[in-house]
Structure 1
């Protein structure tokens, strides 16, 4: 009870957003320094390249939106609520990172940069393996399920190192999951429109089982939340767990199914205009040429 009281009082105090600052600094260095530097080393590029010359305004807005959301998730009060207080806050925190911040960051990153960073044969083979739809589905579902285990929740609350590692794992799992859905994997072997829709439906359904367990549980799984959620919000941990399970599925279905419907609508509009709904760029073709050359040379 003493620990719960101390933690509860600590959550009510505004703390410096160290995590958010770190996220903004790292994201800013990547976007405003690395992207122009890589662009300047491409063929026929000037020595000095400005970000606005190689990234569209829409991409900049998407990346900055994702960066701001991620920074907010790693700052007070989101961070403290997710670590110490509430199952609902914990799951919402995780899903906002994986389903909102990560895809915005990916969409805001220029496609040519993905091709440049993955052009070496080893990295290309590794990315191709990790972004295969079956493997990403397994990895994403596994990470989501393991993150809800009581031992993991307790460890991230009591150890900052574990918490940081867990956030990195969430981001990586989100990146791998979204790459096939957004057709960001280099090369011509991408999911079709129907494949992307089915893939997103699978991502929304498979992690549902842990959420169902929370909805129908009759006892508290997370001791760290049991006292603090009542101190802060005045509800029981059982009610908090049930809300966490129900609302997490609403968020999950809402985002992934909305994206799936948007993909189908966009493909239909492209077909109505006589355009290819699944275009292949020269960068994709070039990557396949390199893979074929590597295969024949070996």
Structure 2
């Protein structure tokens, strides 16, 4: 094991953010999800898992990423009620960003690119020596996880909600693309991460074996849970008698669309006044 380091500063930050999140949620069921997400996050980013992932083992780092993206992130998303999501995304900039990131193709592209960068050799090596780079990387992983699950869970007000079959297909395809580096790790002939060390003494494996193991962990660790989720989405829709090709519509979506219409009308009025043209109705 790496030397014991409780990381008191990071523990304090997580306690404050987690406490604020749990308090803000209010609903008891949603609070349990928020608390579960923060406890799970603390388990994989603090000692010993966080230290092993940062400077020792790529396999442990891969498990850490999978837990955050497939466990912590969906708990965070599902801990927010529709009312809270409406409040968070009401500002025009937040609404535009959420609407775009809820698009499956864009969400998948962002997750693949950013997720790959967080496990690139320069980022991993720098994070092994710099706690700020490490923290920024983990924050990026959490954000990637949230972006990954927004289209699948269909909770964003005013964003296009996928049908059950489209959601299941999105989750299935996502499981294939989020592990883009796994083949590189499996077939590489030499270790790719010089900053990761002491695998032999601490974990009983060579750096190359640890790297190859990380590739298999990434594949199995993403395929199994995400394929199970895809099957569950499809099965629940069928049991509930919901058409698997139907896209649901909620009142929050209608309200958000009306708000966008009002904003578009206001922009048109402002532009007309700047050009010296009297808007219709004046």
TM-score bracket, normalised by the shorter chain, equals: 0.7 to 0.9
- Equivalent position of 1:139 in the other structure: 110
- Deviation, 1:206, is 1.4
- In structure 2, C-alpha distance between the alignment counterparts of 1:237 and 1:110, rounded to whole Å: 44
- For 1:216-295, what aligned pairs fall within 5 Å after superposition? 216-225=187-196, 227-271=197-241, 279-295=248-264
SS at match of 1:295: helix
Distance 1:160 1:232 in 2: 21
- TM-aligned CA deviation for residue 296 of structure 1: 3.7
Q: Which residue of 2 aligns with 1:77?
A: 48
Contact 2:102 2:159 (C-alpha < 8 Å) held by counterparts: no
Corresponding residue for residue 158 of structure 1: 129
Report the Cα distance in structure 1 between the residues aligned to 2:98 and 2:220, rounded to whole angstroms.
31
How far did residue 188 of structure 1 move? Answer: 5.7
Contact 2:152 2:167 (C-alpha < 8 Å) held by counterparts: yes
Q: Aligned match of 2:89 in 111, 115, 118? A: 118
1:20–1:73 Cα contact (<8 Å) kept? no
- Please give the alpha-carbon distance, in whole angstroms, between the structure 1 residues aligned to 2:264 and 2:163: 25
Give the match's secondary structure for 1:16: coil
2:3 paired residue among 13, 24, 30: 13
Post-superposition offset of 1:265: 1.2
Q: Contact 1:21–1:71 at 8 Å: present in 2 too? A: no
1:17 to partner: Cα distance: 4.3
2: distance between equivalents of 1:288 and 1:261? 31
Give the alignment's TM-score, normalised by structure 2.
Answer: 0.88
Deviation at 1:155, TM superposition (A): 0.6
Taking the aligned partners of 2:159 and 2:191, their CA distance within structure 1 comes to 48
Map of 1:27 onto structure 2: 18
What is the deviation of 1:101?
Answer: 0.6
Do the aligned residues in 2 keep the contact of 1:24 with 1:71 (CA within 8 Å)? no
d(CA) in 1 for partners of 2:21, 2:76? 11
Inter-partner Cα distance in structure 1 for 2:22 and 2:214: 34
Shift of 1:146: 1.3
Aligned positions, number:
266
Specify which of 182, 203, 213 is matched with residue 174 of structure 2: 203
User: How has the CA–CA distance of structure 1 residues 188 and 248 changed in structure 2, closer, same or farther, with 3 Å as cutoff?
Assistant: closer
Q: Does structure 1 conserve the Cα–Cα contact (< 8 Å) formed by 2:98 and 2:159?
A: no
Q: Secondary structure at the match of 1:101?
A: helix
After superposition, the C-alpha distances for 1:233-268 in whole angstroms (9 at most, x for unaligned) are 121111111110001111111121111111111111
Match for 1:105 among 63, 76, 91? 76
1:194-253 deviation digits (Å, cap 9, x = unpaired): 11111112211113331011111110101122x311120121111111110001111111
How well do the aligned residues superpose, as a CA RMSD in angstroms?
A: 2.0
* Runs of 4+ with >3 A deviation: 276-279
In structure 1, the residue matched to 2:273 is none
The structure in which a higher percent of residues are helix is 1
Q: Does 1:168 align with 2:159?
A: no
